[in-house]
Amino acid sequence: MSLDLPPVAPSVTAALVQGLTPRLRKRLDAGITKLADRPCVRDGDTVRIAVDDDTHLELHAPGGSVTSADAIRCGCLLAPDCLHRAAAASAAPIADPQEEPEPAAETQPGNGTGTGTGSGSGSESLPTPAPEGRAESETATPEQRTAALAVYDAAAGVLEAGTDGSGAVLQAELLRAAHTARVTALPRLAASAVSVVTRLRAARSGDPAYRLADLTADLRDVLMTAHRLPRSADAELADLRGTARQPYAPDGSLRLYGLFSEPVLTATGYAGAVTWTADADGRLCTVSDVAPGGSGRAVGAADRAVRIGDTALTHRELSRAGLAVSGATVSPTGRLGAGAGVRAVRAAGAAWGEAPLDRLWAAPVAEQVSRALTGGHGLLFLDVTLTGTVREAAGDCLLADCDGLTLRLAAAHDHPALPCRDNLRLLATAPGTRLRVVARLDPAPVPRALLIAAGHPSAAGAHVDLGLDRLQQADLPAPATAPAAPGTGSPPAPLDEAPLHLLRRRVHQAASAGRRVLAFPGDGSADSRRLGRYGFDCAGDLLDELHAAAADRSRDAFGRLVPADLGRFARAWLAAAHYTEEADRALCAAAWGAS
């Protein structure tokens, strides 16, 4: 999409698409494509699009986003229920749900993401007093259960159609369900649904940053959350419901040491940078600058001043310096608050090999992996020796030896505007180089991690943020000072992997091409038998049920095909997707030797 449009609230897009006639809905996707070729002019908070010589479309975005349907105006004869308004809203980025009106409710703590939690509708009946001596169990309200069902049905429709079939109309249905979830105090579910729509738009527009695995993960998350929420209670309900905003607790004075900075590019159209710091005890804290934007903002955010206290440090500088903070506030995830009472000044930093940062690399690798798999920050602090490369489906990975363990290091970001992959290719030309690195665990049947930062190959005490800094050939050590390790350049031994890819491939195919791709006649039992021979009988049964659910089409009394049972297919797909995720986590722990 070439138009520079302001973000539009999900509820606005849903309302405008719902107002179209059936005939105009069929033309909506073509209208979005046509609108992308029209000239667009921005004047302050107003964006004007010349639909044709006589018709102009205006989007008013006070505060940076469109929050009401009346803010999109068109001069055509069919307005306000015209195709142009719905096409503009569907083509625009999705606004942060925080910008939509919130129900008046008390914020409750939890671990979800998104915005808005509360007590639900005012029409709820009063709770029945619990019997004496027995605590009352909190369950989802009727409105929340209805909203979860609406999100589940909309996501199941997307799964049935796949990315090619999930046009603006299906996207609007999911956005409408997300808005309903939000106003009934289900922020995590609303945020997950919006993320799926953003992934669909990226897939349909040919965005180079789109990854099918990301869409599959988001679709699995929204279906799983919507499926579990109506039956959950107490702590599980709080986790599935999420919180309006992360609570910040006072933490006194902090002495922090910069570790590294990394770019942020989210599925919901936000970009920026996050700088990680550590205190003397090894506790990690983050300072972020994330706002609506694309890859350009992710690259430029590293040179923006840190928004905490009166410090003039940029994120790039903070990653190599220190910070003394008084009156600090910290969220449960370690994010530093930037309230009016927080004061911060620049302080001396520390190299990765110096105290107190060196203690992060002293922790056993298996212990770090166990922490990452059980809800930790996911970061791994490793000492590795580069040994070569290995080709994967998504591109080449850097091979490294980590205490006798063959490790695959992949790029943390694949967007061409970021230097991650170029830096990885350059490091691959220097086998035998020993580096101290920071990576994020990537659960897989083999030891694999996403490379975020690394010690400078030739400058002792310095490090490189691989998503923000660009390495040059001159930064690599000379061959004489970095001899090749034994066996360098030879391909790794073939991996005797469990054939879970047979199930994972079908899960990804369904997310991409929809139910019909698995409904074609054919002998799918061969894959099930192969899974059984490796001891994965459950995976084989899930694969058989997935094919059966996809092909299940019954007929009515007159012999006509009735609509497919989307509920059965969604349940079969969700079971298979959840199984592969958990199996990958278990195999990942085994590969790293973690408990």
DSSP string, 330-393: E-TT-BBP--TT-EEEEE----TTSTTTHHHHHS-HHHHHHHHHTTS--EEEEEEEEEEEEEET
pLDDT band with cut points at 50, 70 and 90 for residue 523 = low
The answer on 371 and 335 residing in a single domain is: no
Does some domain include residue 319?
A: yes
In this predicted model, what pLDDT tens digit does every residue of 410-419 receive, in sequence order?
999 888 889 9
Does some domain include residue 398?
A: yes
From 64, 91, 118, the end of a domain falls on 91
The answer on 471 and 368 residing in a single domain is: yes
Task: Tell me how far apart the alpha carbons of residues 249 and 512 are, in angstroms, rounded to a whole number.
Answer: 43
Tokens matching residue 131: 């019997």
443 or 361: which leads in pLDDT: 361
In this predicted model, what pLDDT tens digit does every residue of 18-52 receive, in sequence order?
999 999 999 999 999 988 888 888 888 899 999 88
Question: Over 80: is that where the pLDDT of 490 sits?
Answer: no
321 Rama sector, left if φ>0, alpha if ψ -120 to 50, beta otherwise: beta
Average of per-residue pLDDT across 489-518: 77
> pLDDT value at position 97?
61
Question: Over 70: is that where the pLDDT of 593 sits?
Answer: yes
Which residues form the domain of 527?
A: 501-592
Task: Tell me how far apart the alpha carbons of residues 221 and 574 are, in angstroms, rounded to a whole number.
Answer: 9
DSSP SS3 for 454:
strand
Contact 204, 28 (CB under 8 A): no
The answer on 539 and 455 residing in a single domain is: no
The answer on 367 and 343 residing in a single domain is: no
Average of per-residue pLDDT across 343-349: 91
The answer on 523 and 429 residing in a single domain is: no
Number of domains making up the chain = 4
Task: Tell me how far apart the alpha carbons of residues 386 and 406 are, in angstroms, rounded to a whole number.
Answer: 10
In this predicted model, what pLDDT tens digit does every residue of 40-49 receive, in sequence order?
888 888 999 9
From 36, 67, 91, the end of a domain falls on 91
Does some domain include residue 381?
A: yes
Does some domain include residue 179?
A: no
Does some domain include residue 176?
A: no
The CATH number of residue 256's host domain is 2.40.50
Average of per-residue pLDDT across 418-443: 93
From 302, 322, 347, the end of a domain falls on 347
pLDDT band with cut points at 50, 70 and 90 for residue 111 = very low
Question: Over 80: is that where the pLDDT of 573 sits?
Answer: yes
Task: Tell me how far apart the alpha carbons of residues 484 and 496 are, in angstroms, rounded to a whole number.
Answer: 27
In this predicted model, what pLDDT tens digit does every residue of 351-400 receive, in sequence order?
999 999 999 999 999 999 999 998 778 999 999 999 988 888 767 889 99
Average of per-residue pLDDT across 488-498: 48
